[in-house]
Amino acid sequence: MLVLCLLLALATGWLGDGALRLIAWLGAVALALLLLRPSPLSRWIPLIVGAISVAMLATGQSTALIWLWVIPLCLQGLGGRLGLIVNGLGYIAAVGFAAWQLSLPAASVAGVSLAVIWLLCLEHRLALSPAPISNEARWLLPPATLDADIQHELRRTERESLHGEVVVFGCAHSTTADMEQLCRLLRDQLALYERAYRLNDYGIAVLLVATSADAAEQRRNQLQHAVAPHRMVSWTPVQEIGDRFARYRSKATSETHEAMPWQ
């Protein structure tokens, strides 16, 4: 998106004149610097692009009208009630500006297309939001601790001649109700010393430790039968896991998440 906005600024500067050309060229320079040399200002990219858009539209030239459709992208990161209010006011202002600049038929088409873009941005924001954790899943351990626990159990199994493995169970269907049912079935079946980790919205990893590989297989089959109709996705001895679950150690920071749609 940042590259597209840069190209759009260059095109606006080429086609515009006067104050619009100056603002477009300055905006293109600012966007190029943000693109080539990431800095702490990267988290403010939507705000910077929004300011450039408003400055171009304020010139009143028809060449700048295309920037109306960039504003929804700048506001999509605002959440909560305040975010909805700002997005609503932004839409009203954008449609009012289009009605002032365009004829009634053209303004109507612009209003409908802007509404579609705003709704798509809202859907995108909701899709990026983490799914709420139900009461059935609150007992699950976070996936960030799984890799460390695997390394701990690996050392313990080698020291005490035990057998450990990670079994991943998945929902029969990708629905919240299925996840709640899988959580409930596992919670009723797991022993106190067995731990379960929520990998994502529809997958759970269980860390099993038994006296032997045969005992672990028997326990794994018991769990697989108990959670039906849900399924066992995979099982891996701790000696063979390596860094398979290392990606769960930490999550991306909120600053990176905010800047991600523009990079």
pLDDT, tens digit, for every residue of 84-100? 888 889 899 999 988 88
Identify the pLDDT of residue 129.
57
- Closest by alpha carbon to 68, among 119, 28, 115? 115
229 prior amide bond cis, ω within 30: yes
- Closest to 189 in 3D by CA, of 222, 149, 230: 222
Q: What are the tens digits of pLDDT across the range 104-116?
A: 898 899 899 999 9
What pLDDT is attached to residue 62?
A: 83
Mean pLDDT of the chain: 83
> Residue 82: its pLDDT value, please?
84
pLDDT digit string, tens, across residues 44-73:
788 888 899 999 998 888 888 889 989 888
Structure tokens at 167: 């079994």
CA dihedral 71, 72, 74, 76 (to 10 degrees): 170
Token readout for 96 is 């009012």
- How buried is 12 (Cβ within 10 angstroms: 0-12 exposed, 13-18 middle, 19+ buried)? buried
pTM of the model: 0.49
Q: CA-CA distance, 56 to 5, in Å (whole number)?
A: 13
Look at 137-141, 192-196, 201-205 and tell me which has the smallest mean pLDDT.
137-141
Q: What are phi and psi of 190, to 5 degrees?
A: -70, 140
Do 12 and 55 touch, CB atoms closer than 8 A? no
pLDDT in tens, 208-250: 999 999 999 999 999 999 999 999 999 999 888 877 777 766 5
Q: How many angstroms separate the CA atoms of 227 and 205, rounded?
A: 13
Question: φ, ψ for residue 37 (rounded to 5)?
Answer: -130, 85
